[in-house]
Amino acid sequence: MCGNSVSSMETPVIVEPMGTHTATVFFLHGLGDTGHGWGQQMNEIKAPHIKYVCPTAKQIPVTLNGGMKMNSWFDIKSLSFDSAQDEAGITGASDDLKSWIAQEEQNGIPASRIVLAGFSQGGAVALYTALTLEKKVAGVIGLSTWLPLHHKFPDAIKGVKDYPFLQCHGDMDPMVNYAFGNMTSEKLKKFASNHEFKTYSGMQHSSCYEEMEDVKSFLNRVLPASPPSNH
């Protein structure tokens, strides 16, 4: 779920609601991937009132991969938790996500009916965006991920983060070490009063059926089938 590098696509993969559209999930893929694989995953757990939007990052040179261009939300310099980070790229990707949220609001879906989600690098963007967004969203999902620019927090936090955060990680992850996920969990618990960290025994840098069932349950809980609330 994190590797197949293909040419960049401007149009996001969208799983349209089968009924009346009252909620939206944004799911951002990991390094070198596209929105297609996660679009298929969302299609398997979809609810009839939710639209799932899986965009594809632009192709940029990635330092971690010897400067090779691949789909990436921002540059990654190393896998060390305390290495130099691409602050401009991270905040730029976050600004893009915030603009997509604003567009959904203009289309009649309030932030309170939007979930921000992502895997690995995409999860990092989702977490950073949620913490720096002044509005309350319905919830946040971070799979096999970490909190970027962690040294900026808690100062960078905007708004009260009392909505649900679901963080999931495999304890055998060779890419985003489980220790990074655990450190992220401990840090998030200081800012988010409704944070849950789930561990999957033996899972590497990927997903699994149990995890996707947990994601489905989370979405059903935070985005119940009801009309959008007032702005």
Q: Read off the pLDDT of residues 10-25 as tens digits, 9 standing for 90 and up.
A: 589 999 999 999 999 9
**3-class SS shares of the chain: helix, strand, coil, % to 5:** 35, 20, 45
For residue 194, what is the domain's CATH number?
3.40.50.1820
Catalytic residue among 33, 75, 86, 173: 173
pLDDT over threshold 90, residue 36? yes
Amino acid 10: pLDDT: 56
C-alpha dist (Å) from residue 147 to 24, 47, 52, 182, 230? 23, 28, 23, 11, 31
Mean pLDDT of 37-48: 94
Domain count, the chain: 1
Mean pLDDT of 99-103: 96
Q: Tell me which residue range forms the domain holding 49.
A: 13-222
Domain assignment present for 99: yes
The Cα 141–Cα 119 span in angstroms is 9
Residue 173 catalytic?
Answer: yes
What residue type is 24 in one-letter code?
T
**CA-wise closest residue to 90 among 142, 140, 128:** 128
Q: Is residue 227 part of a domain?
A: no
pLDDT of 227 reads: 58
Taking CA atoms, 50 is separated from 42, 87, 125, 131, 214, in Å, by 10, 32, 21, 23, 17
Q: Is 205 a catalytic residue?
A: yes
Residue 80 has pLDDT above 80, yes or no: no
Distance of CA 189 to the CA centre of its chain: 17
Residue 102 DSSP symbol: H
Residue 78 pLDDT > 90: no
Residue 2 lies in a domain: no
pLDDT (0 to 100) of residue 3: 35
Q: Percentage of the chain with pLDDT > 90?
A: 81
Residue 112 annotated as catalytic: no
- For residue 42, the model assigns a pLDDT of 96
Give the model's pLDDT for residue 231.
Answer: 43
User: Looking at the predicted structure, is the pLDDT value of residue 82 above 90?
Assistant: no
Q: Are strands 13-15 and 50-54 parallel, antiparallel or unpaired?
A: antiparallel
pLDDT of residue 19: 92
- Decide the pairing of beta strands 165-170 and 59-62: unpaired
pLDDT (0 to 100) of residue 1 = 37
**Any idea which of 41-45, 153-157, 196-200, 222-226 has the lowest mean pLDDT?**
153-157
Q: Is residue 179 part of a domain?
A: yes
Catalytic residue chosen out of the listed positions 33, 86, 205, 214: 205
Residue 27 forms beta bridges with which residues? 117
Options 120, 144, 185, 207, the catalytic residue: 120
pLDDT at 14: 95
Yes or no: say if 212 and 42 are a contact pair by the CB < 8 Å rule: no
Residue 3 lies in a domain: no
Q: Which of 51-55, 75-79, 85-89, 123-127 is predicted with the least confidence, judged by mean pLDDT?
A: 75-79
In the prediction, which pLDDT does 7 show? 36
> What's the confidence (pLDDT) of residue 153?
78
Is 160 part of any domain?
A: yes
pLDDT at 2 over 70: no
